[in-house]
Chain A
Amino acid sequence: MNHSRWYVRAVDAIDRIRELLDSTDEVTVGTSMRLPAALREAAALAVSELGAATSITALAADALWQRLDALVVEAALDAHYDRYPALRPSLAELAIAAAELDGNPLASRPDAIRCAAAAIIERHPDADADDVLLWAEAQAASAA
């Protein structure tokens, strides 16, 4: 399949996922989804002992909905960045934004966050903004 056909199919799929996530249709279907036994037992305990949800099914459905909802936003952001590459934030910019959103005191030290981002990405290319903040906090603590 060439890239353009794949892209069109992916966009169509994301649009359809969005519609389905917003659906108020309460019709349910049985599935043959197999779960690892340990995961199922952990979910059962979370429901029965911690009140995490009304049922294992509700817990699983909510987790799945949240994951899919985040996935379609990620797809929208990626498509936007593909169209406007200058908008794509660096890891340091994401970490500075994360610090600001959290009210983290590191937000007033963006240079420290940039240094942490540069250092962590060498060892952990998949690091995210929160990893950078942890790294920067650890650096600040060890320097104190």
Chain B
Amino acid sequence: MLDNEAVQALLSISHPKHAQALTSVQVVNDRRKRSRPTKVLVPTAVRVEAGWDRTAPAAAFINQLRIVDVALDGAAADVAAALVATHHVSVADAHVGAALRTVAGPVTILTSDPGDMRTVAGTKDVVIVTL
């Protein structure tokens, strides 16, 4: 699952973490080619914060990476609102926390802010990779 900076890194070739984020995407895709059930997810509030408009020409490359949206629906909004109220995190980070709770199986978060990700993950067992 991608957080704000991971998305920004993939959006821009000039971002200092572009290569690192890209390598992670390739690892996931190589595993998919071997029929391992895995995918890259992005909470939609993270897309908003990172400025990823799928219709924008600047998003042409990242769109090709087939990263899957996790929508901020009503139930997720409730969980995210509670996380904001309790931990004073950003809306995007709270949506990461809410999205984590809807994913079955192991999750890895690609982030520049491991502290906040650990907070919003709560009791969910996650691996956090720091960009």
Contact = CB atoms under 8 A, between A and B. Distances in A.
A66 B129 contact: no
Interface in A98-123: 98, 100-103
What is the interface of chain A mostly: helix, strand, loop, or mixed?
Answer: helix
A130 B32 CA distance: 12
Contact of A102 (B13, B20, B127): B127
A114 B5 CA distance: 27
Contacts of B20: 97
18 contacts: A18-B64, A69-B32, A70-B33, A72-B66, A73-B25, A73-B32, A77-B29, A77-B65, A80-B61, A89-B23, A89-B26, A98-B27, A101-B27, A101-B108, A102-B108, A102-B127, A128-B34, A129-B30
What is the interface residue range for chain B against chain A?
Answer: 20 to 34
Interface in B62-118: 64-66, 108
Interface of A: 18, 63, 66-67, 69-74, 76-77, 80, 84, 86-87, 89, 93-94, 97-98, 100-103, 128-130
